[in-house]
Amino acid sequence: MAEICVIYMRMKPSLLRIGLLALSIIGISLLHYLTPLHLHYLHDIFQRFYYLPIILAALWFGFRGGLICSLMVSIVYAPHILFQWGGGLTLEMEKYLEILLYNVVGGVTGLLAQRERERSLELQRTAEGLEESYKKLRIQSERIIAVEEQLRRAEKLSTLGEMAAVLAHEIRNPLGSIRGTAEILRDDYRPGDPKHEFIEIQIKETERLNRVVEDFLRMARPQPPEMVRCLLREELETIVALTANDARERKVRLVLEPVAGDAVVRADGEKLRQAFLNIVINALQATPQGGTVTIATRQTDSMFEIRFSDTGPGIDADTLARIFEPFFTTKPDGTGLGLAITKKIIEGHGGTLEVESAPGRGTTVAVRLPMLTDGDQS
């Protein structure tokens, strides 16, 4: 039924045009047959009117349309010449020539219109082909850009690996000496002394620099994970316990929703906790006082999904596109390695990490890990 309707809708304009041509031919012919013969100038005008439907038929339906219409005009006009004008061959020769011109004009105009239509269709097909080629080239260029971006990241990580040994020797050892010296000096000053406070600041900053170097080394030279059977509930409860004091100080509610069933995965517990801890700390830092950080889990197909949601200000699209880049950070004292390391840990466990956010709507980090099947139990 639908196909019949489509065919009818396509035929409808053609039927209207054919009807219009037929009415115009009939109307012009009636003018000829009903006009007295002594009004020669009117008949001369009427016979020129026949060119209008002929040309329209040629433009609308091409060579065949123009020729068929001119033949119909000839058939309708011929009796008028033969019977009303008496059929005098020499006297009315121009009228017979007019019939010949009807057919010539119909055929030539139709042929030209048909060629123009075919040329337009060919140009349209060429344009469609070019558009399709453009779409394919755009897709290929996007893939090439994505591959180049991956190569740049791989090159950056390779550079990090080469620098790791130098950093370990040139930074960590002097930091250890500075910290040890500061701790010795701290013993000479009691709490409350201005110098004691300065030494405490020196020790804290040394510890912070040491953590930066450790994060850098983990990013550049990750250790192979020791995969064992892990309960997500226990791992998440541990993370909540570790960050509960920080949440209280920030006046942020930290909520762990009940984990349904035995959510078991094969993972390196220490690395998994490190990844979860990075996510929760980021969420707490992004959430204003009175806000909430929620940890929820659910099972999807053969994966466990852990969603870390905060009620912070959210992340704009430009920043969201770069949050996993090493050394990219929006924090004044950030290293830009936390999420990059976290993503690498999750992917090393066969999982995925995605961030959903928008300005004013908070942020949700979704971690998906493959569940441990009965055949994989250890």
CATH number at residue 202: 1.10.287
| Average pLDDT score over residue span 52-62 | 83
Q: What is the pLDDT of residue 289?
A: 92
Range among 86-90, 308-312, 334-338 with highest mean pLDDT value: 308-312
Reduced to 3 states (helix: H, G, I; strand: E, B; else coil), residue 267 is strand
256 and 314 part of one domain: yes
Query: How is the beta sheet containing 253-256 ordered, strand by strand?
Result: 253-256, 292-300, 303-310, 363-370, 352-357
For residues 263 and 365, membership in a common domain is answered with: yes
Whether 369 is in a domain gets the answer yes
- The answer on 160 and 183 residing in a single domain is yes
235 and 289 both lie in a single domain: yes
Show the tokens assigned to 170.
């040139």
Name the region of 336 (left: φ>0; alpha: ψ -120 to 50; beta: rest).
Answer: left
Please indicate, yes or no, whether residues 18 and 78 belong to a single structural domain of this protein. yes
196 and 288 belong to one structural domain: no
Q: Is residue 157's pLDDT more than 70?
A: no
Whether 315 and 185 map to the same domain: the answer is no
- What integer best gives the mean pLDDT of the chain? 78
In-domain check, residue 172: yes
Structural domain count of the chain: 3
The kind and range of the H/E element at 219 are helix 194-220
Mean per-residue pLDDT, 74-85: 72
Tell me whether residue 142 is in a domain: no
Looking at residue 309, what is its pLDDT? 93
- Pair (272, 349) in one structural domain: yes
Q: Which domain holds residue 329?
A: 228-376
Classify residue 24: in a domain, yes or no: yes
Count of alpha carbons within 13 Å of 99, Cβ hemisphere only? 16
User: pLDDT tens across 204-222, in order?
Assistant: 778 777 777 776 666 556 5
- In angstroms, the CA 264 to CA 236 distance is 12
Tokens matching residue 240: 């909540």
Which residues, in sequence order, are CB contacts of 109 under 8 Å at separation 6+? 54, 55, 58, 59, 66
pTM: 0.47
- Per the domain annotation, does 141 fall within a domain? no
Residue 8 lies in a domain: yes
pLDDT over 70 (residue 89): no
Residue 74: what residue type? S
Most confidently modeled range among 104-108, 196-200, 203-207, 251-255: 251-255
Pair 274, 255: CB distance under 8 Å: no
- Whether residue 232 is found in the same domain as residue 372: yes
Same-domain status, 304 and 357: yes
Check whether 4 has a pLDDT greater than 90: no
Domain-embedded: residue 145: no
Is the pLDDT score of 194 beyond 80? no
